[in-house]
Amino acid sequence: MESKPLVSIIMNCYNSDTYLREAINSIYNQSYENWEIIFWDNGSTDASANIAKSYDGKLKYFLAEETTPLGEARNLAMKKASGKYIAFLDCDDIYLEKKLELQVTMMEKADFAMCYGGAIIIDESSSVINKEPARYNSGDVFPGLLKRYEINMQSVMLRKSILDETGLTFSTKMKYCPDHNLFMEIASRFKVGVINQYIVKYRIVKESLSKKTMHLVSEEIKLTLDAILNRAPEMMMLYKKEFNKAYAKLNYYDAINYISLGKFSAARKTMREIIMQRWEYLALYILLFFPISNQLLLRLLKR
C-alpha cells in the first residue's frame, strides 16, 4: 500500500458502559493506525459519554438529538464518516489486533465492495464459548450466504463509495437484522472479500437486543429475500436451490422462537414442514418430543 486510507469505525452506544472501555481500547491497540471512531451516543444515561470523552481526538463523539432504532442510528453515524472504508464495533465487542490491517490490505488489493472474517464468541466473563469461522472464498459469496449466513457484524468492512453510489443503507424498519439486510443486498450485487481467520470477538450477553427480538427473525429475513428477488427476479433461476433453502430456514427460525417461549407443539408443527431439507432439521424435530427444557435445548442449538 502506497498510502494508508482512513477507516471510519462506527460505534453506536446506548447505555453500554460495562465493556465500553475494553471495546474502544481494542481499536486503539490496532496494528493499523489510520482510523477514526464515529461514536454515536444514542441517548445514554450511564457513564458511556464520560468514558468516550476520556479519549483523544481520534474518537469523535456525537450525541443524538433523540434516541432512535439501531438501523437509523447507524445511518446517522455513517453520515459523519470521512473514511474510504467503514467498519463497525458494538460497545461490548472486541477487535483483534490485526483486524483493520488485514481488511484494508485486502480491500486495497481487490475491488471488493465489502469484506468480513471469522468471529470468536465470548460470554460476559470473556470466556470463549464458540468460534464462527468465515468459510467461504472471496468472490461471489451470495449463494453460500443464502444457504448459511456467516457474516458477523463486527467483522465487516465496507467500501464507502459503494454506499454512496447505490444509496444502500441500514433499514430503518427492521429491529432484529438491519445488518443482514444491508450485507445481503451488497453481496447480491458485488464481489465480497473473505478473511479466513478470526478477526473479532463477539460477546453474548443475557439482555442482548437479538434475544429480545427473536420473534422477528423469520419475518425480517423474508423481507430481505423478497426485496432482492423483486429487484432481480432472474436470481431465482440462477440460485433456485439456494433460495429454496433460505426460505425453508424461515421455519427453523420460527421454531427457535417457539422453543424460547416453551411452545414445543408449535415448534414441532413448524419443523415438520422442513424435516426432509437437512438432517439437522430432522434431529431437532425428534428432540422436540423429548422432555428437555427449552433453556437446555437453546444451549444445544447455541442460541
SS3 call for 13: strand
What angle (nearest 5°) sits at the alpha carbon of residue 85, between those of residues 61 and 227? 100
Closest Cα to residue 87, out of 63, 107, 69?
A: 107
51-80 pLDDT, tens digit per residue, is 999 999 999 999 999 999 889 999 999 999
More confident residue, 302 or 230: 230
Q: Taking residues 144-173, what's their average pLDDT?
A: 96
d(CA 70, CA 285): 34
Q: What pLDDT does residue 265 have? A: 95
Tell me the domain boundaries of the chain: 7-205, 214-300
d(CA 207, CA 269): 28
Q: What pLDDT does residue 301 have? A: 81
Closest Cα to residue 175, out of 206, 209, 151, 149?
A: 209
Question: CA 134: distance to chain centroid?
Answer: 13
The structure's pTM equals: 0.93
97-139 pLDDT, tens digit per residue, is 999 999 999 999 999 999 999 999 999 999 999 999 999 999 9
Q: Any idea which fold 7-205 has?
A: Spore Coat Polysaccharide Biosynthesis Protein SpsA; Chain A (3.90.550)
SS (H, E, C) the chain: CCCCCCEEEEEEECCCCCCHHHHHHHHHCCCCCCEEEEEEECCCCCCHHHHHHCCCCCEEEEECCCCCCHHHHHHHHHCCCCCCEEEECCCCCEECCCHHHHHHHHHHHCCCCEEEEEEEEECCCCCEEEEECCCCCCECCHHHHHHCCCCCHHHCEEEHHHHHHHCCCCCCCCCCCHHHHHHHHHHCCCCEEEEEEEEEEEECCCCCHHHHCHHHHHHHHHHHHHHHHHHCCCHHHHCHHHHHHHHHHHHHHHHHHHHHCCCHHHHHHHHHCCCCCCHHHHHHHHHCCCCCCHHHHHHHCCC
166-225 pLDDT, tens digit per residue, is 999 999 989 888 999 999 999 999 999 999 999 999 998 876 545 567 788 999 999 999
d(CA 131, CA 122): 9
Q: What pLDDT does residue 211 have? A: 58
Task: Report percent pLDDT > 70 for the chain.
Answer: 97
Q: Taking residues 155-167, what's their average pLDDT?
A: 97
CB 11 within 8 A of CB 37: yes
Q: What pLDDT does residue 208 have? A: 56
Question: Residue 81 pLDDT > 60, yes or no?
Answer: yes
Number of H helices, E strands in the chain: 14, 9
Q: What pLDDT does residue 135 have? A: 95
